[in-house]
Structure 1
Amino acid sequence: MIQVYYTSKHTDGIEYIRETLTDQYQLNVRPVHVGNDEDMLIDQCRDADVVICDFEPFTKRVLEALPKLKLLQFTGVGFNEVDLEAATNLGIAVCNTPQYCKNEVADHAVALMLAINRRLLMFHKMIQEEETWSAVADPSMKPMRELTVGLAGFGNIPKEVAKRLQAFGTRVITFDPYVPEEVSRSFDVEKVELDEFLRQADYISCHLPVTPDTVSFFRKEIFDQCKDGVVFINTSRGAVVNEADLADALDRGKVSYAGLDVLNDEHPDLHTHVLAHRENVIITPHAAFYSASARKNGRIEAAQSIMSYMEGRYAQAPVRNGVRGRK
């Protein structure tokens, strides 16, 4: 029987994994959440053929201590918690769930844009706190149809964002050196080089994965090349933004507003965080992924990915490091 170990602290929806996996798979749910404790992680996964994970530290040391492991199956789109090079060298496949929550995150990104564009927080504060009634309190407001939104990255989620924005008549451009121009063109999105992207975008919506090349990608040097008053949205990963540089850009007015679903720290100190308590920043608690149906569908997608890979149907498994079976 194939031993599948579930290490995530988020056990809601696990029944969908049980229902999807066939009888040749035994699902073992972690008895204690390991957090960042590598020794506990090794101890809990020692007999695993497959591990279902999300934020656990699958470092080279951990992977080397799991000789039976054949597949790491992430429950989300991101998989930056694994040492991908070590996994590849050890013959351990890494899969994610690329369809998981793509519509929820796209909705959330556009909701942040609309809340900022229509000055919802400003009007709410005027009425609730200042008891002021004025529809023209901010004469700088522009309709969405007059804006250019730049999508940094053009994977599954930003493709959905583009569809939603185009319904408003918004011009959409993208910067993604890894996506062919014909792909963006098929979505009526113009692919441009980085300098043009920064120069043209009124709003920037970040959808970059975390890689060595993208950590702190959005930093002072990048913000300085943007339009004055650009709006910055991030629903991808906090690590792709230098938060001190974003705060500085907000202080200088280079960035007029920000809408952030992610911060560098998954458990930030909101009393002292440099981006908290600002009237021109909306922060949500890494909630863009969530809906009841997304959780269910993501768990089913993960289980189906495991069965596809372990049964040799590699074309149906979203393998991210090219491994086709551990030697």
Structure 2
Amino acid sequence: MSSTVPTIYVSDPVHDSVVAALRAEHTVHLGYGPDAVDYATVSSDVDAVLLRAEDFGRDKIEASPKLRIIARHGVGTNNVDLDAAREHGIWVTITPGGNSRAVAEHVFALTLTLARKVAAGSNRTRDGIWTEGKSELTGIELQGRTLGLLGLGNIGGHVAEIGRALGMDLLVSDPAVEDSTVAAIGGRRVDLDELVSGSDVLSLHAPLVPSTRHIIGSAQFDRMRPGALLINTSRGGLVDENALLSALRSGRLGGAGLDVLDAESTEMRDPLPHNELPLDELDNLIVTPHIGGQTDEALSKVGHAAVNCIQQVLAGDTPENAVVAPARTAA
């Protein structure tokens, strides 16, 4: 191998310890912050990219003659041209599981905020209202309620664990999971219709593929229990947002907590442009800007997992969790 110090490009903010680990052994260019570097100015020298939200298409790949790995900080690869990476002999890796607990806890941050009307109560207090209309802030307890999970992957498993600890009953709909697996965590496997109609809190943990786009729409909202809560920390496209807002405005749905949106981008200024009402007039809707996995612990775990993949490739080894392997090294 060449004795030249490898060059790493980090696209978006990562944990400080991750940058420190890279700088200990490599030349590092950051695509963010006061000294941000445009990738085009360093592409010819870059050996590895640690990628978060930045789009990394064919143009960048073809401008990177030394590039050996694109290490995703997360599990999604929709911002990477996988075909171009494969054609140019570049590894693409992901970092599954590192933020699962963080996202699962965010599910309950949203759920409890809705169930106990925390946001509405806080807003009233900020407006100087203490006792007036206090009965309108009466909430519900989660113990004895039914938690429905659409999908039981790493995150769904953590959500199930927390829900059961809170005394909730558990329903799961996931065609890839056996009845025995669901039974082992104290739940019951059901189809989508029963999941929707039987849940007090419906939490989504499915991938976004053609068959799951808008899997929760008008028909599902009509079948949900009056006052039920919908939580989506997975992919925005799972929910028909127009149907969701109609269900919220009508009062059919008790509340919704969204950490993801259908038309999500990094430059959004109006999260729900089709909404007829300002967000602050919908007390039963909470929207957070895709921060479910953004905890100090998760950012450290995911970032260092990506660094590990980079180190493996630079050492000539096969990296963990590869979704694209160069043709010349593929089995």
Q: Could you tell me the TM-score, scaled by structure 2's length?
A: 0.79
What percent identity do the matched residue pairs reach? 28
What residue number does 1:154 align with?
Answer: 152
1:94-173 correspondence to structure 2 within 5 Å: 94-125=92-123, 129=127, 130-132=129-131, 137=136, 141-173=139-171
C-alpha distance in 2 between matches for 1:216 and 1:63:
33
Change (3 A) 1:8 1:250: same
Amino acid of the structure 2 residue aligned with 1:305? C
User: Is the 8 Å Cα contact of residues 2 and 49 (structure 1) preserved in structure 2?
Assistant: no
Amino acid of the structure 1 residue aligned with 2:99? C
User: Is the 8 Å Cα contact of residues 102 and 294 (structure 2) preserved in structure 1?
Assistant: yes
User: Is the 8 Å Cα contact of residues 70 and 326 (structure 1) preserved in structure 2?
Assistant: no
User: Is the 8 Å Cα contact of residues 259 and 287 (structure 2) preserved in structure 1?
Assistant: yes
C-alpha distance in 1 between matches for 2:5 and 2:194:
51
Match status 1:302 vs 2:306: yes
What residue number does 1:279 align with?
Answer: 283
Change (3 A) 1:153 1:125: same
User: Is the 8 Å Cα contact of residues 11 and 51 (structure 2) preserved in structure 1?
Assistant: yes
- Choose from 11, 16, 21 the match for 1:19: 21
- Choose from 2, 5, 9 the match for 1:6: 9
User: Is the 8 Å Cα contact of residues 88 and 326 (structure 2) preserved in structure 1?
Assistant: no
Alignment length (residue pairs): 316
- Choose from 203, 221, 224 the match for 1:223: 221
C-alpha distance in 2 between matches for 1:156 and 1:280:
28
User: Is the 8 Å Cα contact of residues 94 and 319 (structure 1) preserved in structure 2?
Assistant: yes
C-alpha distance in 2 between matches for 1:231 and 1:115:
11
C-alpha distance in 1 between matches for 2:180 and 2:317:
28
Change (3 A) 1:72 1:2: farther
What residue number does 2:242 align with?
Answer: 244
C-alpha distance in 2 between matches for 1:307 and 1:21:
12
What residue number does 1:289 align with?
Answer: 293
User: Is the 8 Å Cα contact of residues 121 and 137 (structure 2) preserved in structure 1?
Assistant: no
Cα offset for 1:318?
1.6
For structure 2, the residue ranges without an aligned partner over 5 or more in a row are none
User: Is the 8 Å Cα contact of residues 93 and 324 (structure 1) preserved in structure 2?
Assistant: no
3-state SS of paired residue (2:323): coil
User: Is the 8 Å Cα contact of residues 49 and 70 (structure 1) preserved in structure 2?
Assistant: yes
Change (3 A) 1:97 1:147: same
Amino acid of the structure 1 residue aligned with 2:18? Y
User: Is the 8 Å Cα contact of residues 231 and 257 (structure 1) preserved in structure 2?
Assistant: yes
C-alpha distance in 2 between matches for 1:21 and 1:177:
44
What residue number does 2:268 align with?
Answer: 268
User: Is the 8 Å Cα contact of residues 22 and 28 (structure 2) preserved in structure 1?
Assistant: no
User: Is the 8 Å Cα contact of residues 101 and 294 (structure 1) preserved in structure 2?
Assistant: yes
User: Is the 8 Å Cα contact of residues 30 and 44 (structure 1) preserved in structure 2?
Assistant: no
User: Is the 8 Å Cα contact of residues 17 and 302 (structure 1) preserved in structure 2?
Assistant: no
User: Is the 8 Å Cα contact of residues 100 and 297 (structure 1) preserved in structure 2?
Assistant: yes
C-alpha distance in 2 between matches for 1:80 and 1:12:
22
C-alpha distance in 2 between matches for 1:20 and 1:59:
24
What residue number does 2:70 align with?
Answer: 72
What residue number does 1:36 align with?
Answer: none
Task: Describe the superposition over 1:232-256 as per-residue Cα deviations: whole angstroms up to 9, x where unpaired.
Answer: 1122233433332321222233322
Q: Could you tell me the TM-score, scaled by structure 1's length?
A: 0.80
C-alpha distance in 2 between matches for 1:135 and 1:168:
26
C-alpha distance in 1 between matches for 2:145 and 2:204:
16
C-alpha distance in 1 between matches for 2:45 and 2:164:
49
Cα offset for 1:27?
3.9
C-alpha distance in 1 between matches for 2:222 and 2:83:
34
3-state SS of paired residue (1:146): coil
3-state SS of paired residue (1:255): coil
3-state SS of paired residue (1:247): helix
Cα offset for 1:132?
1.8
Amino acid of the structure 1 residue aligned with 2:9? Y
3-state SS of paired residue (1:145): coil
Cα offset for 1:195?
2.2
C-alpha distance in 2 between matches for 1:201 and 1:323:
45
Cα offset for 1:167?
0.7
- Of residues 176-185 and 154-163 in structure 1, the stretch that sits farther from structure 2 once superposed is 176-185
